[in-house]
Structure 1
């Protein structure tokens, strides 16, 4: 049994390392599958190509415990020259029948959400991407303190071929 698990892990790692379209791909696991409104997730990455076009994605894994059909996020991109771009984004997490969107056969769904499409980074250097949840209940002023059901948050940069 142990050898089957080892072989599965090795094959999984081989497939993951063969992804030539990815310039950056990282995840952060959230404690207790819950995203606190004060927990800003941060990814720092180098950009060595200021000519090639890229697509940027926010990757999320959610469980059946996620209680909403949408998700509001606040993002911040910090450039090497000190420029900062902040966006408020909304994503659909479920269809009109309440079925979760995303990929996966189990209770965990993987969502690859477009953040920026067909962009060129203006300069080489180190960039930082930050994201936090900004969910609130209808009519409420205060945000949801603990957003349950989000297990992982990731950031991915893909080269456009």
Structure 2
């Protein structure tokens, strides 16, 4: 025989479970990652493509980066090019802090892999219907060097998230 206390307990557990699963959903319009098995080569930008049919809604866009503890810098410089279906590309040069002053990596995660959700654009509208192509490349270089690092170590994945 089930008592009222047990019924209430089961109701709370059931509602909590439903809430937990619905609270974890996001309103991602696009979310994709590119794996980098041998570091991030400067000559190979991460390229993402998606189709937008909605020219009215505003979105927030993020560059997601997964790093290991062997990432050698405290910051990350990125060049992000957005190619619309027609017209000229827009180019953003971005800088993000990746580590604390003591060298410990920022980001979320309990292992040696950290997730960094880096804000790219707020309230972006895709004003033309069609396929958009986003290119993300790193622009890291050592002090007094012009060319930059040919391969950026410590980055395992690059992602693009549009919500």
- Number of residues paired by the alignment? 141
TM-score scaled by length of structure 2: 0.82
Unmatched segments (≥5 aa) in structure 2: 1-20
Of 17, 20, 28, the match for 1:22? 28
Q: Distance in 1 between matches of 2:71 and 2:26?
A: 32
Quick check: 1:109 aligned with 2:114?
yes
Decide which structure has greater strand share: 1
TM-score scaled by length of structure 1: 0.83
Q: Distance in 1 between matches of 2:86 and 2:147?
A: 34
Unmatched segments (≥5 aa) in structure 1: 1-14
Aligned to 1:9: none
Output one character per residue of 1:80-136: Cα deviation in whole Å (capped at 9) or x when no partner: 113200111111101222221111000000001011012222122110000111100
Q: Distance in 2 between matches of 1:26 and 1:42?
A: 10
Quick check: 1:95 aligned with 2:84?
no
Q: Distance in 2 between matches of 1:102 and 1:89?
A: 17
Q: Which runs of 4+ in 1 moved over 2 A?
A: none
Greater C-alpha Rg: 2
